[in-house]
Structure 1
C-alpha cells in the first residue's frame, strides 16, 4: 500500500520531473456535481448569449502577478516552465508553450497562497529543512549530488531556487493541513469495516490503477476545452509525460500527484469512463472522453485482481546468456551468428550447465535471483511466466546491443494478497477526506485573494 500522502514530500516534489507517485486505493475520478435544474449559473443569472464589450482577453497578457502583495516575476514563470518542459522530454509544440505558461502561473499563485496561509498560521518552513529535502531529492530521484543537480537545473533554464520554492510550498501546505484539517477529519470503525467487507466481496474482480487528466467545461467552453484536451493527448502520445501534463493541466484534486487515481474498480467511475477504460492495457491512453462537467483523459498504469495473487509479483532467479557482435559485423553475419547461438542454447542442460556451455561458445553469463516479473518488459513477462526451470526465452536483441536469452533458474510465487489492514484502510480513508477538504480550503484562499496582473 502507498505511504501516507501527507508525509510523501520527496516523492511529490519529484513529480514535476516526471516521477509517478501513488495515492489512496479506492480514490475516485474528480467529477463536478451535475448542474441543478436551473443551470450551473442560475444564481448568477448570466444570459445565454452575452455581448462582450471591449477587447480584453484574459489569456493574452504578460505572465506576472502580485498575490496579496507578493510578486510572481516572469523569471519565476520561465524557470518553473523549464522544469515542466524537461519532464516532457522537451516534446512540447510551440503553440502549447503559451497555454502551459498560463497554467504555470496559476500553479504559482496557488503555491504562493499556500505559503502565505501557512505563514499566517505561524507555520514556518526553514531554509535548512528545505535544503535537506532538496539534497534527498537530488540523491533519490536524480542520482546526483546537490551541486550537480543545481548545475543540471541551470542547464535546463531553471534553477535550484525554483525547485526549492516548490519544496517549501509543499512542506508548508502539508504542515498546515496536518494542523487545520487533519484533526477534524474522522472515519468511524464501522465505516472501515464496511469498506473492508466490500473489498472482500469483490475478491477476484479486476482493479485498475488509472491516471486521469480532467478538464472542466460547460456548454459555452465545450468546443475549446475539447480541442485543448485533444492537443494534450497528442503531446503525450508523442512522448510527453502524462504525470507532468496532469500536474499542470488537470483540474481534479489528483493533479498534485500526477493524476494518479490509485487502485479502483471500474464500477466506481462514471459510465463513460468505465466503458472507455475497460479495453485498455497497461501503458495505453484513451480520451478525451466527455463526461458531465467536462472531459477526461485516462492512462492505464496497471491492473490486477482484488485480493488475488498477481503472477507478475513472482520473484525470479534468472541467468542472462548473451553474445555481442564486432562493429564491422554485417546483418547477414549477425543473423547467422544468432542462429548458431540459439541452437547452442537449446542444447544447454539447465542452469547448472549454463556457465560451462556459454564459455564454450564465447557467450557471457550474468545471474540475478531477485527480479520481479513485473519489472521486466511486458512481452518478456508473459514468456518467462510460462517457462519451466531450465528453459530459456527465444533470443532477442540487435546488432548494436548483441543477442541474449534469459534462462529461468527459479521462481518464488507470490502469496495470496490479504488486502490492507484495518489501520491501513482507515489511513487511506482519512487521507481521501483530508484531500477533499484541502481542495475546498485552497478554493477559499483563491476566492479571498487580492491578485493584480501585469
Structure 2
C-alpha cells in the first residue's frame, strides 16, 4: 500500500459528520400537507401514511410548523437507526424528546438563512455520499434503506441540511470568538505531566442540556427515558448518535481518554465508580444531565510507539506493476542516488525535480500505527533520524523514498497541536451550547398540548 493512500484512508468521514453539531439525530422535518401531496410513489409507506395522521400541528417554531406526522416519522427513524424494539409505548415515550430536538434543528436552519449561509444542494448531496461511503453503502442505498423502514427520504435531507447549517453557523458566528493561548496549552501540559502514572479512562457520554432552572425536571425525564432504552439493550453509541445533544454525539458520544480532574467534579466522582463496559445513572452538572459509559482504562502516558506522529516528505518514481527487472533496477538506482543527496527532508523535493517522472509531496501528522499496512515502512521509517531517508519501497504507483522531518509523541504525552485541538473543541462545544440557548430564548416557540 502506498504511503499516500494510507493517509487518505485515515481521513475518511464517519457515518454522522456534523463538525460541531449539538444534535446528531436525523431530523424529520417534513413539509406540510401541500408538499406531502407532491411526493411521488418512491417515498413509500411514509408518504402513504401521512393522511391518516391528520397533519395536526404539534408545535410552531417562529413561522414553521411541526406536525404530528413529522413527529411520528422522527420517532420511527430514531427507533430504526438505534436498534430499539419498536412498540406503541416506546413511540409515546420518545415523542417529547424528539420534538425538542426537532425544534432545535428548525432554529438552526432558520438562523443559517438569516446569516446567509444556507446549505446548498451540492453540500447536501456530498453529505449523502459521505454517509454512504462511510457505511459501506452503494450510491443511493441510504435512501433505499429509509424507504424500506417506512421513512420518507426527504426526512434525511432535512436533517443533513440542519447539520450543515449548524456547522456553518459555528464557523461564522462562534469560531472567531474562541481561541486557545500558548499559556493554556502550557497549563494543560503541566497538569498532564503531574498525572503521569495515574489511570486514564476512555469515556463516552450522552448529554441532555438544561438551559433554564425550570427545565431541570424535563431534562431528567429525557435522561431517564434514554436510560430505559439502554437497560433494554440498545447500543450506547447508537443511542448517543440519536439522542445526545453534545458535540461528541456524531462519534457515538466518544470523549476519548480523560484524566482525573478533566471533567466536571460531579462527573469525575461518578466516573471513579463505573467499571469498564458499564454506564452511569443520569448525573447532574451545571450544563445538564449526563450518562457516562466507561469503555476502558489504562495507565496514563505509558509508552505507545504506534501513537507517535511523523512529518514526512515522500518521493515517488512512477513504475508500472508489470515493469521488467531491468526497469526496476534502473528505477531503484535512481531512487538510491536521490537518497544519497538528502541531508534534510526538504532536499527530497529538490532531488525529485532532478529525476525524470518523479513527484514529491509533504505528509504531515502521520500516525506510526497507520504505516503497518506496509511492513517495511512500519519497521524502517519510525527508526530514522531527523533528515534521514528510507526506501525505496515498492508500492502500486512505483517506488517510494521517504524522509523524516520531525517526530512527536509516542511517549504517551500528546503533542501541543493535539492539546490545542482538544481545548478548542471543548471551548467550541460550550460556546455552541450558549449560542443555541440564545436562539431558543429569542424564538417564538408554541408547543400545542
| TM bracket (short chain) | 0.5 to 0.7
8 Å CA contact 1:206–1:304 kept in 2: the answer is yes
Aligned to 2:108: 114
1:185 pairs, out of 178, 182, 202, with 178
> Once the 2 structures are TM-superposed, how far is the Cα of residue 116 of structure 1 from its aligned partner?
1.1
Pairing 1:158–2:163 present: no
Moved more, 87-96 or 107-116: 87-96
Aligned to 2:424: 430
Pairwise mapping of residues 187-266 of structure 1 onto structure 2 (< 5 A)?
Answer: 187-214=180-207, 229-247=223-241, 249-250=243-244, 254=248, 258-266=252-260
> Once the 2 structures are TM-superposed, how far is the Cα of residue 170 of structure 1 from its aligned partner?
1.1
8 Å CA contact 2:203–2:292 kept in 1: the answer is yes
8 Å CA contact 1:215–1:295 kept in 2: the answer is yes
TM-score w.r.t. length of structure 1: 0.58
8 Å CA contact 1:63–1:101 kept in 2: the answer is no
> Once the 2 structures are TM-superposed, how far is the Cα of residue 165 of structure 1 from its aligned partner?
1.5
8 Å CA contact 1:125–1:168 kept in 2: the answer is yes
Distance of 2:232 and 2:306 partners within structure 1:
28
Aligned to 1:440: 434
> Once the 2 structures are TM-superposed, how far is the Cα of residue 438 of structure 1 from its aligned partner?
0.9
1:11 pairs, out of 13, 16, 23, with 16
Does the C-alpha gap of structure 1 residues 424 and 181 become closer, same or farther in structure 2, counting only changes over 3 Å?
A: same
8 Å CA contact 2:201–2:296 kept in 1: the answer is yes
Distance of 2:282 and 2:202 partners within structure 1:
18
Q: 1:173-221 deviations in whole A, cap 9, x for unaligned? A: 1112111111121221111112122212212221112223355789999
Distance of 1:135 and 1:442 partners within structure 2:
28
Does the C-alpha gap of structure 1 residues 63 and 244 become closer, same or farther in structure 2, counting only changes over 3 Å?
A: farther
8 Å CA contact 2:241–2:252 kept in 1: the answer is yes
2:72 pairs, out of 75, 78, 91, with 78
For residue 433 of structure 1, give the secondary structure of its aligned residue in structure 2.
helix
Computed over aligned residues only, the root mean square deviation of the Cα atoms, in angstroms, reads 3.7
Aligned to 1:68: 62
1:89 pairs, out of 79, 83, 92, with 83
Unmatched tracts of structure 1, length 5 or more: 1-6, 18-60, 314-368, 371-414
Aligned to 1:176: 169
8 Å CA contact 2:230–2:236 kept in 1: the answer is yes
For residue 302 of structure 1, give the secondary structure of its aligned residue in structure 2.
strand
Equivalenced residues, count: 306
Pairing 1:285–2:279 present: yes
2:447 pairs, out of 439, 447, 453, with 453
Does the C-alpha gap of structure 1 residues 207 and 174 become closer, same or farther in structure 2, counting only changes over 3 Å?
A: same
Distance of 1:442 and 1:8 partners within structure 2:
25
Q: 1:18-67 deviations in whole A, cap 9, x for unaligned? A: xxxxxxxxxxxxxxxxxxxxxxxxxxxxxxxxxxxxxxxxxxx9673222
> Once the 2 structures are TM-superposed, how far is the Cα of residue 302 of structure 1 from its aligned partner?
2.7
1:421 pairs, out of 412, 415, 418, with 415
2:298 pairs, out of 295, 299, 304, with 304
Does the C-alpha gap of structure 1 residues 233 and 104 become closer, same or farther in structure 2, counting only changes over 3 Å?
A: closer
Distance of 2:220 and 2:437 partners within structure 1:
24
8 Å CA contact 1:206–1:265 kept in 2: the answer is yes
Aligned to 2:160: 167
Distance of 2:220 and 2:94 partners within structure 1:
16
Pairwise mapping of residues 396-411 of structure 1 onto structure 2 (< 5 A)?
Answer: none
For residue 280 of structure 2, give the secondary structure of its aligned residue in structure 1.
strand
For residue 145 of structure 1, give the secondary structure of its aligned residue in structure 2.
coil
For residue 268 of structure 1, give the secondary structure of its aligned residue in structure 2.
coil
